[in-house]
């Protein structure tokens, strides 16, 4: 696009918290690994929105939303409050969503992009997710599944600081990384564990006043976010070029056709008839709570990256090893019993990651270290090692046993080598006599003979030692 317009983008990001139970009842939480093999398996009167049920807030959901705020440097609000936000949706039986408006969990904070630009957060609030509608095309019916109803969600709202698709994607990747590393959410985008609404408007370059905004809801991949922003930027620029107004709208992004289409006029806050929920007490978060929760904040990817560099890893390696939480854990774990960071990183980056799809590592740190140690001790060759990795991948097999079974480690004993050398010396008197003049040549000759006799199974280092010892 030309430099005629400034693009203004703000994101609203929803992430499902991975608590064991739902936000206002004791039903198992889908995002926390609940069994959802059947619809409506994890439901009760509270998350089904029955009149008279009394929702009571889950302390872990509150604490995890505070932890999330800490991962972005937010201020933690001292008093928070739930409010009813009214909608009519068939998968929201109570007719309202419990969310936070006036007193959200966290305020401010943000992320600095690699360019040095700060993207500010306005707030992070805690709310409940709705259920799901399941359309049965064969029977022409729509069914309601409330397993997901009451899943704790955090909503992160940015200031309109983002200027293009690349910034949006970098921001989202960092958000996901911090939520996952802080342990509050798994952010499985394919499963809807993290969703993003994009708000976008254009204004004449340098103008103060923002233009009319369009909102695109529930984009569930970063690629979709980028494509939607690029399309919408062009569409709005064309309208403005033609002297037309951009309608304030909620638009639907259709990824298959690569276009956005109008859904409805954008709703206003007043449309939701927000009101404090009379069933909920205000929650006071004390300084003591904040200090206690802060202590439980795990190291984030950028902190671990810096630690890895400090232990001597190249930036490139540190970067790769902190792209996925399970991968980082694997590295740290293996490092515990194999404290040579660079060789270990090489093994992981070249041989382990090559075999893993989406960072699913199907070998344990113990198994890998056992293999590397066998190579270091020259019990097996590098080639043998790769064969063992393939053999044990996805199994619990002991690499040492596999090496033995495959015949990689049945090396010839030193005593046996000695006997062979003595015998060879007796039958090659001339070679023995030549030792003083050309020791290297003679040693090589005897080594070659030993290797021949043992079918290459002898350790060449050991053979050399014995040959030299006997000759001199």
Interface with ligand ADP by CB under 6 A: which residues? 8-12, 157-160, 199-201, 210, 213, 215
Rounded Cα–Cα distance for residues 162 and 171 (Å): 9
Residues that bind Mg ion (CB under 5 A): 12
3-state secondary structure the chain: CCCCEEEEEEEEEEEEECCCECCCCCCECHHHCCCCCCCCCCCCCCCCCCCCCCCCCCHHHHHHHHHHHHHCCCEECCEECCEEEECCCCCCCCCEEEECCCCCCEECCEEECCCCCEEEEEEEEEEECCCEEEEECCCCEEEEECCCCCCEEEEEEECCCECCHHHHHHHHHHHHHHHHHCCCECCCHHHCCEEEEEEEEEEECCCCCCCCCEEEEEECCHHHHHHHHHHHHHHHHHHHHCCCCCCCEEEEEECCCCEEEEEEECCCHHHHCCEECCCCCCEECCHHHHHHHHHCCCCCHHHHHHHHHHCCCCHHHHHHHCCCHHHHHHHHHHHHHCCCHHHHHHHHHHHHHHHCECCECCCCHHHHHHHHHHHHCCCCCHHHHHHHHHHHCCCCCCHHHHHHHCCCCCCCCHHHHHHHHHHHHHHCHHHHHHHHCCHHHHHHHHHHHHHHHHCCCCCHHHHHHHHHHHHC
Query: Which of 377-384's residues contact partners 24+ apart within 8 Å by CB, and which partners?
Result: 378/459, 378/461, 379/403, 379/408, 379/409, 379/411, 380/408, 380/409, 381/408, 384/408
By CB under 5 A, the count of residues binding Zn ion is 5
Supply angle C-alpha 47, 52, 57, rounded to 5. Answer: 50
Which of ligand ADP, Mg ion, Zn ion, none lies near 160, with the C-beta cut-off 5 to 8 A by kind? ligand ADP
Q: Whole-number minimum distance, CB 127 to ligand ADP, in Å?
A: 12
Which of Zn ion, Mg ion, ligand ADP, none lies near 201, with the C-beta cut-off 5 to 8 A by kind? ligand ADP
Q: Whole-number minimum distance, CB 323 to ligand ADP, in Å?
A: 27
- Interface region with Zn ion, contact rule CB under 5 A, candidates 44-52, 310-318, 344-352, 456-464: 44-52
Which of Mg ion, ligand ADP, Zn ion, none lies near 11, with the C-beta cut-off 5 to 8 A by kind? ligand ADP
Q: Which is nearer to ligand ADP, 201 or 370 (CB)?
A: 201
Q: Whole-number minimum distance, CB 225 to Mg ion, in Å?
A: 14
Which of Mg ion, Zn ion, ligand ADP, none lies near 44, with the C-beta cut-off 5 to 8 A by kind? Zn ion
Q: Whole-number minimum distance, CB 260 to Zn ion, in Å?
A: 36
7, 25, 60, 76: which one binds Zn ion (CB under 5 A): 25
Which of ligand ADP, Mg ion, Zn ion, none lies near 27, with the C-beta cut-off 5 to 8 A by kind? Zn ion
Q: Which is nearer to Mg ion, 12 or 387 (CB)?
A: 12
Q: Which is nearer to Mg ion, 86 or 397 (CB)?
A: 86
- Interface region with Zn ion, contact rule CB under 5 A, candidates 39-47, 53-61, 68-76, 82-90: 39-47
Q: Which is nearer to Zn ion, 21 or 100 (CB)?
A: 21
Which of Zn ion, Mg ion, ligand ADP, none lies near 47, with the C-beta cut-off 5 to 8 A by kind? Zn ion
Which of ligand ADP, Zn ion, Mg ion, none lies near 367, with the C-beta cut-off 5 to 8 A by kind? none
Q: Which is nearer to ligand ADP, 191 or 271 (CB)?
A: 271
Which of Mg ion, ligand ADP, Zn ion, none lies near 89, with the C-beta cut-off 5 to 8 A by kind? none
Q: Whole-number minimum distance, CB 198 to ligand ADP, in Å?
A: 8
Q: Which is nearer to ligand ADP, 65 or 158 (CB)?
A: 158
The residue among 362, 355, 369 whose CA lies nearest residue 400 is 369
C-beta nearest to Mg ion: residue: 12
Rounded Cα–Cα distance for residues 51 and 281 (Å): 18
Q: Which is nearer to ligand ADP, 84 or 213 (CB)?
A: 213
Q: Whole-number minimum distance, CB 338 to Zn ion, in Å?
A: 46
Rounded Cα–Cα distance for residues 232 and 255 (Å): 12
Q: Whole-number minimum distance, CB 45 to Zn ion, in Å?
A: 7
Which of Mg ion, ligand ADP, Zn ion, none lies near 403, with the C-beta cut-off 5 to 8 A by kind? none
15, 23, 31, 47: which one binds Zn ion (CB under 5 A): 47
Query: What's the chain's length in residues?
Result: 472
Q: Which is nearer to ligand ADP, 162 or 369 (CB)?
A: 162
Which of Mg ion, Zn ion, ligand ADP, none lies near 159, with the C-beta cut-off 5 to 8 A by kind? ligand ADP
Q: Whole-number minimum distance, CB 351 to ligand ADP, in Å?
A: 43
Q: Which is nearer to ligand ADP, 89 or 210 (CB)?
A: 210
Verify binding: residue 146, Zn ion, rule CB under 5 A: no
Q: Which is nearer to ligand ADP, 20 or 118 (CB)?
A: 118
Q: Which is nearer to Mg ion, 12 or 398 (CB)?
A: 12
Rounded Cα–Cα distance for residues 95 and 197 (Å): 22
Q: Which residues bind Zn ion (CB under 5 A)?
A: 25, 27, 44, 46-47
């Amino acid at each position: 696009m030309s430099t005629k317009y400034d693009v203004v983008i703000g994101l609203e990001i929803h992430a499902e918290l991975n608590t064991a139970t739902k936000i206002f009842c004791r039903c198992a939480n889908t995002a926390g690994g609940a069994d959802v093999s059947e619809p409506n398996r994890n439901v009760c009167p509270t998350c089904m929105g029955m009149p008279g049920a009394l929702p009571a807030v889950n302390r872990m959901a509150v604490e995890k939303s505070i932890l999330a705020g800490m991962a972005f440097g937010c201020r933690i609000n001292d008093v928070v409050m739930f409010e009813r936000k009214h909608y009519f949706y068939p998968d929201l039986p109570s007719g309202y969503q419990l969310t936070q408006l006036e007193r959200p969990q966290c305020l401010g904070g943000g992320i600095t992009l690699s360019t040095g630009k700060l993207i500010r957060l306005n707030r992070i609030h805690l709310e409940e997710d709705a259920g799901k509608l399941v359309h049965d095309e064969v029977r022409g019916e729509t069914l309601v599944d409330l397993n997901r109803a009451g899943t704790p969600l955090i909503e992160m709202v940015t200031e309109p600081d983002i200027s293009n698709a690349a910034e949006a994607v970098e921001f989202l990747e960092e958000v996901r990384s911090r939520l996952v590393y802080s342990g509050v959410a798994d952010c499985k985008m394919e499963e809807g564990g993290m969703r993003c609404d994009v708000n976008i408007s254009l204004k004449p370059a340098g103008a103060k006043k923002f233009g009319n905004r369009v909102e695109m809801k529930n984009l569930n991949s970063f690629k979709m976010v980028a494509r939607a922003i690029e399309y919408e930027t062009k569409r709005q620029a064309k309208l403005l070029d033609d002297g037309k107004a951009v309608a304030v709208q909620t638009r639907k992004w259709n990824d298959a056709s690569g276009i956005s289409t109008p859904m409805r006029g954008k709703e206003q806050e007043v449309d939701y008839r927000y009101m404090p929920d009379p069933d909920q007490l205000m929650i006071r978060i004390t300084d003591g709570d904040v200090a206690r929760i802060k202590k439980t904040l795990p190291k984030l990817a950028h902190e671990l990256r810096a630690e890895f560099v400090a232990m001597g890893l190249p930036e490139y390696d540190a970067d790769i090893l902190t792209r996925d939480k399970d991968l980082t854990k694997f590295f740290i774990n293996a490092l515990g019993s194999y404290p040579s960071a660079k060789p270990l990183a090489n093994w992981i980056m070249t041989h382990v990651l090559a075999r893993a799809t989406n960072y699913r590592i199907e070998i344990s740190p113990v198994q890998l270290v056992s293999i590397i140690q066998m190579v270091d001790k020259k019990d097996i060759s590098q080639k043998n090692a790769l064969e063992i990795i393939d053999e044990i991948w996805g199994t619990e097999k002991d690499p040492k046993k596999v090496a033995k079974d495959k015949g990689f480690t049945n090396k010839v004993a030193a005593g046996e080598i000695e006997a062979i050398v003595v015998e060879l010396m007796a039958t090659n008197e001339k070679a023995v006599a030549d030792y003083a003049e050309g020791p290297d040549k003679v040693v090589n000759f005897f080594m070659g003979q030993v290797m021949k006799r043992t079918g290459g199974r002898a350790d060449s280092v050991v053979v050399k030692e014995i040959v030299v010892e006997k000759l001199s």
